[in-house]
A and B are shown apart, each in its own frame.
Chain A
């Protein structure tokens, strides 16, 4: 044992490399592989979650096409492989009607969906609700597109836009939403904070969960398009209203009714 411990450590540090690095590219590939397997696992869970209720609800509330993540222009490393018919309904590419990064408060940047927290959508708060077979709190769009952003460690933004079969169907769904919540969700505290502040129809709903902070969701309709917006930890009605108005303007680019 050398008397000088520092000298011992100096010798330890000074030796030759212990291994040939696998390389930064190998780290990237491993990261991509993990992300793909996580996405696949999430897909299986989603299929189970959607499939089981649909047995009970027949062709009911949760029969969404599989969710797809951000557009191919996303700066994140993986690219979407969603077939075009999942995002391009007749006459509109839903990617064109989403909020842009420049529409959001400064500092938000687009990320993969798995990076942002929950509950991103209103229906995630409605697990305890007893909806009838044909109802629910998900728009039943035949096409949809979602995008997710984050700012710092604890600020998330999520938007999902559905294209319904018709303007009438979209209007009926949004009109009926508060009543659905009142009638079928006695154990969850939903509050309709405001309506009619943006687009053809709009609704701001706040949910007070048993634990944790309240969550607010903005729904805006233009024609047959309905978009839902969620900002984590944001319950300021004025800020959410403003965002809803910007979203309404974007939706106009995908419908002839504006």
Chain B
């Protein structure tokens, strides 16, 4: 597999010398957005992200030395979200800690895009979330997924085409 040079994005990922609290604060919303795009469900995204952070804390000494600990957290969160049993377990574990503050529902644009993404094949959706939301380079996605860059480009191309169709249909239904 091709080796990809990973450069920490300043102020986001770099965790060496960063406390867990600082890292959490700097990355929570970004990861929430990625997981919402991935799951189309704010609650499920929140549980998955919180579960990933709680697992990260148990091994923070090691994770803090990684170039991109947020990548580890995202991978764990995606695994949690993909597994029904883990998802239910995370929901139970974190329900008691959810904050009471009311947050506005996601905007219709966001909901439409998340729903459209949700209907894509898993690989295409993953590639699109990583590329367009997590802002990873194609080479980084290829390294993370263990595939060639060509495969990632193909997933992105097909995913975008499917999204265009889905969102156009959605818009037409809305106007009808």
Contact = CB atoms under 8 A, between A and B. Distances in A.
Partners in one complex: yes
B99 interface: yes
Contacts of B155: none
Interface in B161-176: 163-164, 167-168, 170-171
Interface in B90-126: 93-94, 97-99, 101, 103-104, 106-107, 109-110, 113-114
Interface string B24-63: 1100110011001100001001100011011111100100
SS of A interface (majority)? helix
Contacts of B167: 1, 8
Contacts of B55: 31
B143 interface: no
Contacts of A16: 103-104
Interface in A1-55: 1, 5-6, 8-9, 11-13, 15-31, 33-35
A247 B50 CA distance: 42
Contact of A1 (B45, B133, B171): B171
Interface footprint category on A: 20 to 34
A29 B113 contact: no
Contacts of B42: 18-19
Given A19-B32, A28-B57, A5 B163 contact: yes
Given A17-B29, A17-B32, A24-B53, A30 B94 contact: yes
B132 interface: yes
Contact of A24 (B24, B114, B132, B164): B24
A109 interface: yes
Contacts of B164: 1, 5
Interface footprint category on B: 35 or more
A27 B54 CA distance: 4
B153 interface: no
Given A5-B160, A6-B132, A9-B133, A20 B54 contact: no
B20 interface: yes
A20 B103 contact: yes
A31 B58 contact: yes
Given A12-B109, A17-B32, A31-B54, A26 B61 contact: no
Interface of B: 20-21, 23-25, 28-29, 32-33, 36-37, 42, 45-46, 50-51, 53-58, 61, 93-94, 97-99, 101, 103-104, 106-107, 109-110, 113-114, 132-133, 160, 163-164, 167-168, 170-171
Closest 7 CB pairs of A and B: A26-B97, A24-B24, A27-B53, A9-B132, A1-B168, A27-B54, A1-B167
13 contacts: A8-B167, A12-B33, A12-B109, A12-B113, A16-B104, A18-B103, A21-B29, A22-B50, A26-B54, A26-B97, A27-B53, A27-B57, A77-B57
Given A18-B45, A22-B46, 16 more contacts: A1-B171, A12-B33, A12-B110, A16-B104, A17-B29, A17-B103, A18-B32, A18-B103, A19-B42, A19-B46, A21-B29, A22-B94, A24-B20, A27-B24, A28-B57, A30-B97
